[in-house]
Amino acid sequence: MKKNIIHILLAAGLAAVSACTALHPDSKTLKTALKNDFYMGTAMNLPQIYGKDKKSVDIIKKQFNSIVAENCMKSMYLQPREGAFHFEDADRFVDFGEQNNMFIIGHTLIWHSQAPRWFFTDNVGKDVSPEVLKQRMKNHITTVMSRYKGRIKGWDVVNEAILEDGTYRKSKFYEILGEEFIPLAFQYAHEADPSAELYYNDYNEWYPAKKETVIQLIKKLKSKGLRIDAVGMQAHLGMDGPLIKEYETAIVDYAAAGVKVNITELDISPLPNPGKMTANISDTIAYREEINPYTHGLPKNIETEWENRYLDFFRLFLKHHDKIERVTVWGVADTDSWKNNFPVHGRTDYPLLFDRNYQEKPLVKKIIRLAEEQK
């Protein structure tokens, strides 16, 4: 009898502890706290894909339920020479995603940057004809998407084709094929894997003129009966702009055009914008100090401003969770961020959710609490 009572008390104690744990926001991770709102993703680099950066890999498994390759699925890496495909890195990336139950994203099929030169030129270096470029696009898209058919769930089919003033970027794709290169890419992509979600991905898509052209593009694709599931809004943000309101208008307007929104490539840099410098560039020391001011860590007041900006954006994403399928940060820890070298080479930047020692920043728990509060 006494034994039974002890068992009952022990079981009750355990149940109480686990109930507390289940309810306590501090025990949650990003992916669990946000699971009813949107996927929470990250970009992966090669050391992570190959498991060499163990600290980041642990974070990715614990915090994220979606992944995208930061570089290794761009055309210059996948098809460095015509017909010579290199799939080793991408295969490892997809294996990692499947082993960890991730929503896997392909980035990116048609992008003017990081495309190999051969894609656009003949054997004497002249631009190829429209027919040849169409054939090369089709072959690239079909070969890559067929390999990961049913495994990669969504693709950035076309990346960064429209400028802030609403005109088309004068890329080689555009010069040779005109605006039609985009519908063609979506057509080839859908033919290659009818089950895959297809996205148009770009930066600064909250600029009104750019947004208008992207919306026209969505309408054009839909009127041709082509599939487009979402607009990917890259979110390489700074402290000065855009306003939350501007970003919100864009999310609402894209959703009204009949697509979901993916918040892709999220990072917020607390560093000064080089366009607003006061130091003279010829005064090297003063210039370096002003442009790269936090080499030994972020001052508390700047960290607070930076956190608040992130939280403002997450508040916005949560408010519009019905329109947003995924939020993806562009990397895990500050030390690996591309922002350390852009727009100025060699700065110490702090745009991500994990610090240079792979420790979770206090912001992570604040995002989790925000998600819990909105329930």
User: Considering the rule CB under 6 A, would residue 114 count as an interface residue with ligand G3I?
Assistant: yes
Q: Which two tokens stand for residue 316?
A: 């916005």
Q: For residues 240 and 89, give the distance between their C-alpha atoms in angstroms, rounded to a whole number.
A: 37
Residue with Cβ nearer ligand G3I (65 or 337): 337
Residue with Cβ nearer ligand G3I (157 or 371): 157
User: Considering the rule CB under 6 A, would residue 129 count as an interface residue with ligand G3I?
Assistant: no
User: Considering the rule CB under 6 A, would residue 338 count as an interface residue with ligand G3I?
Assistant: yes
Stretch (H or E) spanning 305: helix 300-319
Question: Smallest gap, in angstroms, from Cβ of residue 212 to ligand G3I?
Answer: 21
Q: Which of 361, 362, 354 is nearest to 337 (CA)?
A: 354
> Which stretches within 24-107 are classed as H helix?
30-33, 46-49, 54-63, 75-78, 88-99
User: Considering the rule CB under 6 A, would residue 168 count as an interface residue with ligand G3I?
Assistant: no
Q: Which residues contact 237 (CB under 8 A, 6 or more apart)?
A: 266, 267, 268, 269, 309, 313
SS3 at position 328: strand
Residue with Cβ nearer ligand G3I (91 or 290): 91
CB 228, CB 199: distance < 8 Å: yes
Q: Which two tokens stand for residue 144?
A: 């890559």
Q: Which of 296, 301, 280, 284 is nearest to 348 (CA)?
A: 296
Residue with Cβ nearer ligand G3I (261 or 371): 261
User: For ligand G3I, which residue of 37, 193, 205, 265 counts as binding (CB under 6 A)?
Assistant: 265
User: For ligand G3I, which residue of 21, 27, 36, 113 counts as binding (CB under 6 A)?
Assistant: 113
Q: Catalytic residue numbers?
A: 160, 265
Q: Which two tokens stand for residue 95?
A: 């294996």
Q: For residues 55 and 354, give the distance between their C-alpha atoms in angstroms, rounded to a whole number.
A: 11
User: Considering the rule CB under 6 A, would residue 66 count as an interface residue with ligand G3I?
Assistant: no
Q: Which two tokens stand for residue 328?
A: 């993806």
Question: Smallest gap, in angstroms, from Cβ of residue 337 to ligand G3I?
Answer: 8
User: For ligand G3I, which residue of 32, 71, 216, 249 counts as binding (CB under 6 A)?
Assistant: 71
- For ligand G3I (CB under 6 A), the number of binding residues is 8
Question: Smallest gap, in angstroms, from Cβ of residue 234 to ligand G3I?
Answer: 5
Q: For residues 330 and 142, give the distance between their C-alpha atoms in angstroms, rounded to a whole number.
A: 27
Q: How many Cβ atoms are within 10 Å of 84's Cβ, its own excluded?
A: 9
DSSP letter assigned to residue 256: H
User: Considering the rule CB under 6 A, would residue 70 count as an interface residue with ligand G3I?
Assistant: yes
Residue nearest to ligand G3I according to CB distances in the complex: 338
Residue with Cβ nearer ligand G3I (41 or 318): 41
Question: Smallest gap, in angstroms, from Cβ of residue 143 to ligand G3I?
Answer: 20
Stretch (H or E) spanning 23: helix 2-23
Question: Smallest gap, in angstroms, from Cβ of residue 32 to ligand G3I?
Answer: 27
Question: Smallest gap, in angstroms, from Cβ of residue 347 to ligand G3I?
Answer: 15
Q: Is the peptide bond before 343 cis (omega within 30 degrees of 0)?
A: yes
SS3 at position 141: helix
Residue with Cβ nearer ligand G3I (159 or 269): 159
User: For ligand G3I, which residue of 29, 234, 262, 269 counts as binding (CB under 6 A)?
Assistant: 234
């082993």: which residue's tokens? 99
Question: Smallest gap, in angstroms, from Cβ of residue 191 to ligand G3I?
Answer: 24
User: Considering the rule CB under 6 A, would residue 335 count as an interface residue with ligand G3I?
Assistant: no
Residue with Cβ nearer ligand G3I (59 or 109): 109
CB 333, CB 354: distance < 8 Å: yes
- Interacting residues toward ligand G3I by CB under 6 A: 70-71, 113-114, 159, 234, 265, 338
